[in-house]
Chain A
Amino acid sequence: MIKIKDIHKSFDEKEVLKGISFEIKKGDIIALIGGSGCGKSVLLKHVAGLLQPDHGQVSVDGKDISLLSGRELKKLRSRLGFLFQGGALFDSMTVFENVAFPLEEKTRLSTKIIQERVLNELERVGLSGSEHKYPSQISGGMLKRAALARALVMDPEIMLFDEPTTGLDPVIGLAILSLIDSCHKQLSFTGILVTHEIPRVLDIVDRVVMIHEGVVLADETPQGFFSSGDPIIQGFIGKTAEGS
């Protein structure tokens, strides 16, 4: 469904991505891992069409997204949900208004149906009762849940998660990962999960893609990745396990 082919990207003459290629099948969810600053979030923004590659292409359903017209890109984005690292909730709106916003703007549903869908979505992510709070009034974990509810409310076919557990304590982080897993099982979206949560994330993903020095170092099943003999991978697993 998503094909990433030979992506190169530089910022200020520093080449961050040096030819990244991999594919994701429909319904699969992959973990995209690597050291800090290796370009994981940059790659995710390429998939969302927020950044254009210097070379290479990202295709969704066989269509190169850099060649899509403005209207086609909008159409693609309406099939896509993105969970930002900081949540990116609109801070002048309540949690309810944030989740309702895409429905109000992109659909012609009645107020009653929108209200029902928003409350259902908030219940799914465990935020019932917090709908009238503003983002500044809720904890980091609740903020991520609210952002997840907003990303899921349009029933996306593709979900992109940018470090959903960053800044959360291990218990809340695990709860967010479990929530992503249950949502994936219910909604069967195709997903890319940028994370450092190794080995915790291995239970919920179909594959692990590791980026190292701008290239794909590993593209394995979770079991294959965990049992890899590569010293860089073993070092990364050791470090992140210590960190968590």
Chain B
Amino acid sequence: MGIFLFKTVFFTVIPPLKFVRVLKQIRFIGFHSTVLILLTGGFAGMVLGFQGYYSLSRFGSDAFLGPVVALSLIKELGPVLSALMVTGRAGSAITAEIGIMRISEQIDALKLMGLNPYRYLVVPNLIAGMIALPLLGAIFDVAGIFGGYLIGVKLLGLSAGTYFGEMATHVNIKDVIEGIYKSFSFGIIIIWVSCFKGYYTGIFTGFGAEGVSKSTTQAVVLSSVLILVWDYFMTSVLF
């Protein structure tokens, strides 16, 4: 897997870049995930609104609901949950697509045309993942903060000024950058694992529909685990 990542990075930095395919994959990984991210972000924020409000009100600190919701989302839940959603929606599809191309000899066909399969199948996904994940994480954060606002302000009666005012006071740019770094690295993990599992379908997981099925399952499980492990690593060591 290390060699696979090295080759992918190598072909990413060495031109030519398949720009149209990059745009297509940004549309697939990013734009097509937007509704899912809005929904999950909104509901995650609403849950945070409830839980945060009742926990904070025990200590008489319900005024800090805004920063609690925002910091939880921006630093942790936004990047992690959006990455897990993208793994399930786009990562699995990428593995299945590349896996089917492998077992139906479409990757061999690319090679025999003198074309580099990494440039066509892996690099555009990697660039798209690195661009789309931070944007989806940000959308998740905004939807979550709005969800928290609906619960905290509209349902439970906290003032909008307190909710947003305390948020502006306690959330700083470093927190936002931390979230962006995380989303960016999760984008690399998802694409790395998904493309690797698809590319080597048949070699590690057997041929046919069963091989594609196994590769897809492995890609989702491994990506999800790596996202959580890497999240812990980044949180504890880097920040």
Residues of A within 8 A of B (CB): 45, 48, 50, 74-75, 77-78, 80, 82, 84-86, 88-92, 101-102, 105-106, 154
Give the shortest distance, in Å, between B230 (CB) and chain A (any CB): 31
Give the interface SS of chain A, mostly helix, strand, loop or mixed.
Answer: loop
Residue of A whose beta carbon sits closest to that of B110: A90
| Contact segment of B65-73, B111-119, B173-181, B188-196 | B111-119
> Using Cβ atoms and an 8 Å threshold, which residues of chain B touch A78?
113-114
> Using Cβ atoms and an 8 Å threshold, which residues of chain B touch A105?
113, 115
Contact A82-B114, Cβ < 8 Å, known A88-B104, A88-B106, A90-B106: no
B113 touches A101 (CB 8 A): yes
A82 touches B115 (CB 8 A): no
A82 touches B104 (CB 8 A): no
Residues of B within 8 A of A (CB): 97, 100-101, 104-106, 108-109, 111-115
The CA-CA distance from A74 to B112 in the complex, in Å, is: 8
A86 touches B105 (CB 8 A): yes
New A-B pairs, 20, CB < 8 Å, besides A77-B112, A78-B113, A91-B104: A50-B108, A74-B114, A75-B114, A77-B111, A77-B113, A78-B114, A84-B105, A84-B108, A84-B109, A86-B104, A88-B104, A88-B105, A88-B106, A88-B108, A89-B109, A90-B101, A91-B100, A92-B97, A106-B113, A106-B114
Give the shortest distance, in Å, between A63 (CB) and chain B (any CB): 16
Give the shortest distance, in Å, between B215 (CB) and chain A (any CB): 17
B113 touches A50 (CB 8 A): no
Residue of A whose beta carbon sits closest to that of B115: A105
- Report the tally of A-B residue pairs with Cβ distances under 8 A: 45
> Using Cβ atoms and an 8 Å threshold, which residues of chain A touch B113?
77-78, 101-102, 105-106, 154
Residue of A whose beta carbon sits closest to that of B112: A82
> Using Cβ atoms and an 8 Å threshold, which residues of chain B touch A89?
106, 109
Task: Supply 13 A–B pairs (Cβ within 8 Å), ascending by A.
Answer: A45-B108, A48-B112, A75-B114, A78-B114, A82-B108, A82-B109, A82-B112, A84-B105, A89-B106, A89-B109, A90-B109, A91-B104, A106-B113
A50 touches B106 (CB 8 A): no
The CA-CA distance from A45 to B105 in the complex, in Å, is: 12
The CA-CA distance from A14 to B104 in the complex, in Å, is: 24
> Using Cβ atoms and an 8 Å threshold, which residues of chain A touch B97?
92
The CA-CA distance from A101 to B112 in the complex, in Å, is: 13
The CA-CA distance from A78 to B115 in the complex, in Å, is: 9
The CA-CA distance from A48 to B112 in the complex, in Å, is: 7
Residue of A whose beta carbon sits closest to that of B107: A88
The CA-CA distance from A86 to B101 in the complex, in Å, is: 12
8 A-B pairs closest in CB distance: A88-B105, A88-B109, A74-B114, A77-B114, A78-B114, A82-B112, A84-B105, A102-B113
Residue of B whose beta carbon sits closest to that of A154: B113
Residue of B whose beta carbon sits closest to that of A45: B108
> Using Cβ atoms and an 8 Å threshold, which residues of chain A touch B109?
82, 84, 88-90
Give the shortest distance, in Å, between B7 (CB) and chain A (any CB): 12
